[in-house]
Structure 1
Amino acid sequence: MRIHVLADSDTRWKWGAALAVGLAPGSEVHAHMLRGRSTPTARQLAEVGITPASLTEATLAGFAAAPELDGADLIILGTVGGATHAALHALARRFRNARRRPILMTGYVGVVYEKMADGLLLRAGADIVLANSPFDRRRFTDIYEPLGIPASCIVQTALPFLDQRPYDPNRTHARHPYTVCFAVQPSVPADRNGRLYLLRRAISHARLRPGRDVLVKLRSRPGEATTHVEAHHYQVLAEQIEEPLPPNLHFVYGNMSETLDRTDLLVTVSSTAALESMHRGMPTAILSDLGIREIHGNHYFAASGCVTDWTAIDEGAAPLAHESWTTDQGIRSDDPYAELRARIDELWGIPLPPVTPFYTAGSAPEYVGTLLRRRGLDPDGSPGAGAVTRRAGPMRRTSRRVLKVAYQFGVQRVAPKIQQWGGV
């Protein structure tokens, strides 16, 4: 199977690539990185651990015009809702008169806890919209069916990076001590005070429990971008703390699965790393220190049995998720690809209809027009005036990287200093 993955960040490339490999092992997977703020660096791509058959970087117009898509069997759109909707319009135009077109598939990288209706309707028009759990399938169906969108496009699967290696609570700690991993998030919480509080609590836990290792698992290095903007990087914040850090506290990067291999307790506000640890049967703590709030996403885990706080963790709390909750969230499913493979087989056996996004220039002219123009497309999905469809050359890529790193450096290092000097 020839699978093409469009991704706009390292996280969404990881999702799309892992999905392609899990769905059809041995497939020819091609990577298309959407040019933008979160375009992953070479280090971030390497960290995912999946090497594509080819790798290009392009605008949406350039991706939709790529000649290699003519030979694609499946296109996975691993992009935010707006970009996915724009891609559907561009691909609808591209394959309008084609005798054969690839199957179009999209979904969500993690838990869906905000803007559900908005995100779902922007994805409507794909042949397959993935639901990561029975819970998600019910919610998605409740949105689609009343609006006349066939619920048959919703296919249940599971997050593709959930590792099958179970946690052994009786394992010895000969190689390393009991390990607590604080999985940080780029934008949760978004404010400096909240992030500094969580960092100080992790540091405090390391001091209170000198026999433990405390890992602060970071998503990106200072200056790198990921799915969300990280204005106050934890490692930069640590440099601003006057007292020395305890020797058993470590900042770590790399593959989350490998970090979990040495972890005994996963701590986070609402990271999808919690789903990975719960899938392994590992103790998982969802922090309520900053409140249980929709903006933080930890309300999603309210019924999991894992909501707790740093004080309880200091005292030895190590909650396990309720089995009924994990089952409904699709976390511990046996064969997450069975239904998806069956649906793909069905679609291969019939002529595919024209790609029809939910919003059109007729039904939502202002919304569609604005959404597509922001992404270099005209309302009919064609390249907009001045749109660049060719792939970026080395000089263009280098200059863009320099500007992006300079911006991140200013946000993460210079701005906090100015705030300190000004007493902000």
Structure 2
Amino acid sequence: MPSRTEKPLRVAVLADSDTRWKWGALTAHRLAPGARLDGCLLRGRATPTGRQLAEVGVRAETLREVTMTEFVRTADRSRYDVVVLACVGGAVQAALHGLAHAWGTGPARPVVVTGYVGVVYEKLADGLLLRHGADVVLANSPDDAHRFRAVYEGVGAPADSVAEWALPFLADTSDAGDKVIDAEGARLGPFTVVFAAQPSVPERRADRAYLLRRAAAHARLHPGREVLIKLRSKPGEHTTHIEEHPYQKLAAKLPGGLPPNCRLVYGHMGDVLDRTDLLVTVSSTAALEALHRAIPTAVLTDLGIREGLGNHHFLGSGCLASWDRLDAGHLPVPDPGWTARQGVATDGPYAHGTAFDAARRRVAALAARPGLPPLAPYYTARTAPGYLPGILARHGLDPEGRPLPGRAGAPAEAGALRRAVREAARGAYRHGVQRVAPVIRRLGEL
């Protein structure tokens, strides 16, 4: 009988937002080239729309919405070789406990993989311990791998699950950053500046309006340049984080409007970077993509260098700069030591895709074993009795990982009425988050 590794692996990805679906699906393809991919979108406030899924551009054999209880009920141990959990930490922890209960102590089960979508600049210990229990915890750089192991070892938990690799959406430098050039090698088209906006950084409306004004002012100061405001979602759509003050609405109220050479754009970040000459952001993971492509990258200091903004992660990178310096023509030059530690070096294994090899071999070796030990997260009813039950309950599970009464999971076919009710509820929630909640907060500040 052929082993499981003699044929394409079967992979399931559970994701709770558009960005995490992108990370999870690309991770699956990087770890198991040619695998059959089944996608599961965790139902919630950030469940991606059809437009967002199309923008990600990653195909799956099947793609469906599920609750956590539906997922653990249908992720049969014999159906998949690998399960990728591409969710926020609490959802990963719930999935680990739910799957541990569903799979029990049988002789074989899928390999469970998890990790982070991008820069880890906050809640390091909290997020990592919520992910502990997976067979493989992917670290996106040498620096992350060192930090991850230190956290696990610091609480006395096994750290052998940590595997260094690279962000799966980093393009190989041989294919990245290609721009239209003439016969003499000169760049065609205008110098393009891209401001990579983020849904929740910064949070304050005044700060977001300030960044938009400065981008528009840069376009006016440099009429020969094209300034693009790269947005993640359209009004009413949600991503990983709630966006209370969308740039689209701020742009509509901008005095004088946007100049002709400044506009809002959507689309796949890789496609936008293909025509980018300068990437500007507060702390977006897009900065790592740009640096990997050797595109000059500016991490803004205008609002300070603060943990809440995430730009402190770029200390020592050589990329910190203000709009004033960019207006004056400054192009940041990254520090090669820093980029190497962050896994975005333009040479070596991270440049040529070989940074994925070690994790790929580990997953293949685990999948080939006749059996794996039961999933054993660090958090249990004994180690975190005041924390874990609440996390599991939010996802419909009791402290043992069993579905709570009435939450055992509905049939996969929802029906037209149920879908309509769910979409109406989702729309009402988004309206409350984007319109009602900010008003209540402002009234509270009076």
Cα distance, 1:277–1:291 mapped onto 2, change above 3 Å: same
The amino acid across from 2:425 in the alignment is L
Secondary structure (helix, strand or coil) at the match of 1:5 reads strand
Does the aligned pair in 2 maintain the 1:166–1:281 contact within 8 Å? no
User: Which residue is equivalent to 2:160?
Assistant: 152
Does the aligned pair in 2 maintain the 1:133–1:156 contact within 8 Å? yes
Asked if 1:346 is matched to 2:365, the reply is yes
Q: CA deviation digits over 1:259-316, x for unaligned, max 9?
A: 0011100000000000000000000000000000000000000110000011111111
Partners of 1:125 and 1:138 in 2: how far apart?
A: 18
Asked if 1:228 is matched to 2:241, the reply is yes
User: Which residue is equivalent to 1:402?
Assistant: 424
User: Which residue is equivalent to 1:49?
Assistant: 57
Asked if 1:276 is matched to 2:289, the reply is yes
Partners of 1:387 and 1:299 in 2: how far apart?
A: 42
**Offset at 1:419?**
10
Does the aligned pair in 1 maintain the 2:291–2:344 contact within 8 Å? yes
Partners of 1:124 and 1:179 in 2: how far apart?
A: 42
Normalised to the residue count of structure 1, the TM-score between the two structures is: 0.95
Secondary structure (helix, strand or coil) at the match of 1:118 reads helix
User: Which residue is equivalent to 2:396?
Assistant: 376
Correspondence list, 1:18-417, <5 A: 18-66=26-74, 70-164=78-172, 165-167=175-177, 172-174=186-188, 176-332=189-345, 333=350, 334=352, 335-350=354-369, 351-387=371-407, 389-390=409-410, 391=412, 392-409=414-431, 411-412=433-434
**Offset at 1:167?**
3.6
Q: Percent identity?
A: 53
Q: CA deviation digits over 1:218-238, x for unaligned, max 9?
A: 000000000000000001111
Cα distance, 1:345–1:37 mapped onto 2, change above 3 Å: same
Secondary structure (helix, strand or coil) at the match of 1:70 reads coil
Q: CA deviation digits over 1:328-367, x for unaligned, max 9?
A: 1111313121111221233234431110111111221221
Does the aligned pair in 2 maintain the 1:223–1:406 contact within 8 Å? no
**Offset at 1:422?**
13
Secondary structure (helix, strand or coil) at the match of 2:249 reads helix
Partners of 1:394 and 1:222 in 2: how far apart?
A: 25
Q: CA deviation digits over 1:369-389, x for unaligned, max 9?
A: 111111111111011122151
Partners of 2:88 and 2:331 in 1: how far apart?
A: 34
Q: Which runs of 5+ in 2 are unaligned?
A: 1-8
Does the aligned pair in 1 maintain the 2:82–2:113 contact within 8 Å? yes
Secondary structure (helix, strand or coil) at the match of 1:362 reads coil
The answer to which of 181-190 and 380-389 deviates more is 380-389
Secondary structure (helix, strand or coil) at the match of 2:208 reads helix
User: Which residue is equivalent to 2:6?
Assistant: none
Partners of 1:4 and 1:85 in 2: how far apart?
A: 17
The amino acid across from 2:386 in the alignment is E
Cα distance, 1:414–1:90 mapped onto 2, change above 3 Å: closer
Q: How many residues align?
A: 423
Secondary structure (helix, strand or coil) at the match of 2:78 reads helix
**Offset at 1:98?**
2.3
**Offset at 1:415?**
7.5
The answer to which of 340-349 and 227-236 deviates more is 340-349
Secondary structure (helix, strand or coil) at the match of 1:316 reads coil
**Offset at 1:423?**
12
Does the aligned pair in 2 maintain the 1:282–1:320 contact within 8 Å? no
**Offset at 1:217?**
0.2
**Offset at 1:118?**
0.6
Q: Which runs of 5+ in 1 are unaligned?
A: none
Cα distance, 1:414–1:115 mapped onto 2, change above 3 Å: closer
The amino acid across from 1:370 in the alignment is G
Partners of 1:260 and 1:49 in 2: how far apart?
A: 16
Partners of 2:444 and 2:310 in 1: how far apart?
A: 32
User: Which residue is equivalent to 2:21?
Assistant: 13
The amino acid across from 2:37 in the alignment is V
Does the aligned pair in 1 maintain the 2:77–2:108 contact within 8 Å? no
